[in-house]
Amino acid sequence: MQFPFVIAHGGLGNFDELIFVGIGVVFLALMAFSWIRSRNAEPVEDELNVKTSTHDTATSPDAADRFRLE
Protein backbone atom coordinates (compact mmCIF):
# COMPACT_ATOMS: atom_id res chain seq x y z
CA MET A 1 0.00 0.00 0.00
CA GLN A 2 1.36 3.41 -0.98
CA PHE A 3 1.51 6.06 1.76
CA PRO A 4 -0.54 9.11 0.69
CA PHE A 5 1.33 12.42 0.68
CA VAL A 6 -0.71 14.79 2.79
CA ILE A 7 1.63 17.52 4.02
CA ALA A 8 4.74 17.46 1.83
CA HIS A 9 5.10 17.12 -1.94
CA GLY A 10 6.58 13.62 -2.00
CA GLY A 11 9.84 14.31 -3.81
CA LEU A 12 11.84 12.29 -1.24
CA GLY A 13 9.33 9.48 -0.97
CA ASN A 14 7.81 8.65 2.37
CA PHE A 15 10.63 10.29 4.30
CA ASP A 16 9.67 13.86 3.46
CA GLU A 17 6.49 13.48 5.48
CA LEU A 18 8.55 12.30 8.45
CA ILE A 19 11.03 15.16 8.04
CA PHE A 20 8.23 17.74 7.78
CA VAL A 21 6.37 16.40 10.82
CA GLY A 22 9.66 16.06 12.74
CA ILE A 23 10.52 19.70 12.12
CA GLY A 24 7.05 20.69 13.33
CA VAL A 25 7.42 18.62 16.49
CA VAL A 26 10.84 20.13 17.24
CA PHE A 27 9.44 23.64 16.67
CA LEU A 28 6.49 23.04 19.01
CA ALA A 29 8.80 21.54 21.65
CA LEU A 30 11.08 24.60 21.54
CA MET A 31 8.09 26.94 21.78
CA ALA A 32 6.71 25.00 24.77
CA PHE A 33 10.13 25.03 26.46
CA SER A 34 10.54 28.79 26.00
CA TRP A 35 6.98 29.43 27.20
CA ILE A 36 7.48 27.33 30.35
CA ARG A 37 10.82 29.00 30.98
CA SER A 38 9.35 32.49 30.61
CA ARG A 39 6.40 31.66 32.85
CA ASN A 40 8.73 30.50 35.65
CA ALA A 41 11.07 33.49 35.39
CA GLU A 42 10.75 36.27 37.92
CA PRO A 43 9.91 39.68 36.46
CA VAL A 44 12.74 42.19 36.55
CA GLU A 45 11.47 45.64 37.43
CA ASP A 46 14.82 47.43 37.42
CA GLU A 47 15.43 46.97 33.70
CA LEU A 48 12.22 48.68 32.63
CA ASN A 49 13.21 52.22 33.71
CA VAL A 50 9.62 53.41 33.58
CA LYS A 51 9.27 57.01 34.65
CA THR A 52 5.90 58.18 35.87
CA SER A 53 4.81 61.77 35.65
CA THR A 54 3.66 63.69 38.71
CA HIS A 55 2.37 66.52 36.53
CA ASP A 56 -1.39 66.90 36.67
CA THR A 57 -2.64 67.77 33.20
CA ALA A 58 -6.11 68.70 34.46
CA THR A 59 -4.75 71.77 36.26
CA SER A 60 -2.12 72.75 33.68
CA PRO A 61 -2.48 76.06 31.79
CA ASP A 62 -3.28 74.28 28.52
CA ALA A 63 -5.91 71.96 30.06
CA ALA A 64 -8.63 73.44 27.85
CA ASP A 65 -6.76 72.24 24.75
CA ARG A 66 -6.65 68.62 25.96
CA PHE A 67 -9.24 65.88 25.97
CA ARG A 68 -9.88 64.14 29.26
CA LEU A 69 -9.57 60.35 29.15
CA GLU A 70 -12.25 58.60 31.15
Give the tens place of pLDDT for each residue, 1-59: 566 666 666 677 777 778 888 999 999 999 999 999 988 888 766 555 666 666 666 66
pLDDT at 41: 82
Distance CA 70, CA 58 (A): 12
**Domain spans in the chain, listed from the N-terminal domain onward:** 1-40
Q: Report d(CA 29, CA 60) in Å as an integer.
A: 54
pLDDT confidence of residue 8: 65
Predicted confidence at residue 27, as pLDDT, reads 97
- pLDDT given at position 70: 65
Residue 23 · residue 7 · CB < 8 Å: no
d(C-alpha 17, C-alpha 22), whole Å: 8
- Spatial separation of the C-alpha atoms in residues 12 and 15, rounded to whole Å: 6
**pLDDT at residue 65, as a whole number:** 72
